[in-house]
Amino acid sequence: QSALTQPPSASGSLGQSVTISCTGTSNDVGRYTYVSWYQHHPGKAPKVLIYEVNKRPSGVPDRFSGSKSGNTASLTVSGLQADDEADYYCSSYAAISNYLFGSGTKVTVL
Amino acid sequence: EVQFLESGGGLVQPGGSLRLSCAGSGFTFNGYAMAWVRHSPVKGLEWVSSMDGSGLHTYYPDSVKDRFTISRDDSKNTLYLLLSSLRADDTALYYCAKPHTNWPFDAFEMWGQGTMVTVSS
């Protein structure tokens, strides 16, 4: 039950884009469409940005988009804003009756 | 407005126990799946436990199985997490969370603000 693998850090300039990868296995990311992405400012409640690979909850701007290919999911944040500086976590349902989070990526806005 | 308020955290010695509570306002727990997720600087976010809407089925990762117990009291609109045989690596901020749908493993769309558990001698 290892965490999904994410790069520890990523960065982009204001207005630019950044893409974060999330690598799992054929038993989690590769098998299921239940991949989600969360934004987390430590000490505050996480916020879901993407669910079911590429769906956005109401209120989440379309600057946030998700995709998946094989065992790897990705989150792209376009038009970076200062407030996007946060930790980002992917997650996936995993067989059997298990839920995995990614290792987390700290995004810095330059 | 839906809010979850966690409480019950604190400092506990290794091997000790603690019961966390999550009280809902503007929301009725009855019939809804719920979960606990924790965050620590070392491990990041970690799923800790889920319960289905009926309350009859509970789920845990191996790291806490047989040590943690999730439960609910719908009459009090409160979710609980009993932590026992606590270890230093259980130190974290514990959140209660509600899945997007009534499937226990769906994305967590609502979260509380968390209650801190510190395990140390």
Backbone angles phi, psi at A23, to 5 degrees: -105, 125
Instruction: Quote the pLDDT of residue B46.
Output: 97
Smallest CA-to-CA distance from B112 within B17, B6, B15 is with B6
- Which residues in chain B have Cβ-Cβ distances shorter than 8 Å to A102? 44
> d(Cα B106, Cα B59) in Å, to the nearest integer?
13
Measured between its terminal Cα atoms, the distance across chain B in Å is 40
- pLDDT per position in chain B (121 positions), as tens? 889 999 999 999 999 999 999 999 988 888 899 999 999 999 999 999 999 999 999 999 999 999 999 999 999 999 999 999 999 999 999 999 999 988 899 999 999 999 999 999 9
- Contact between A9 and A106 under an 8 Å Cβ cutoff? The reply is yes
Residue B40's pLDDT is 96
Tell me whether residues B95 and A45 touch, CB distance under 8 A. Answer: yes
How much is the pLDDT for A65?
A: 98
> Per-residue DSSP letters for A29-71?
TTT-S-EEEEEE-TTS--EEEEBTTTB--TT--TTEEEEEETT
CB contact under 8 A, A97 and B111: no
Three-state SS at A13:
coil
Q: Do the chains contact at A101 and B59, CB–CB below 8 Å?
A: no
Q: Which of B39, B64, B102 to mutate to test the interface with A (most CBs of A within 10 A)?
A: B39
Q: Residue A57 region, left (φ>0) first, then alpha (ψ -120 to 50), else beta? A: beta
**pLDDT tens digits for chain A (110 residues)?**
678 999 999 999 999 999 999 999 999 999 999 999 999 998 899 999 999 999 999 999 999 999 999 999 999 999 999 999 999 999 999 988 899 999 999 999 99
Q: Tell if the CB–CB gap between A48 and B109 is shorter than 8 Å.
A: yes
Tokens, residue B34: 């719920």
**DSSP 8-state symbol, A2:** P
Take residue A97 and report the two structure tokens written for it: 């009756």
What would the pLDDT profile of B76-109 be if each residue is shown by its tens digit? Answer: 999 999 999 999 999 999 999 999 988 899 999 9
CB of B58 within 8 Å of any CB in chain A?
A: no
Give the pLDDT score at A108: 97
Question: CA angle B93-A94-A34, nearest 5°?
Answer: 85
Do strands B34-40 and B18-25 pair parallel, antiparallel, or not at all (unpaired)? unpaired
Question: What pLDDT does B28 receive?
Answer: 85
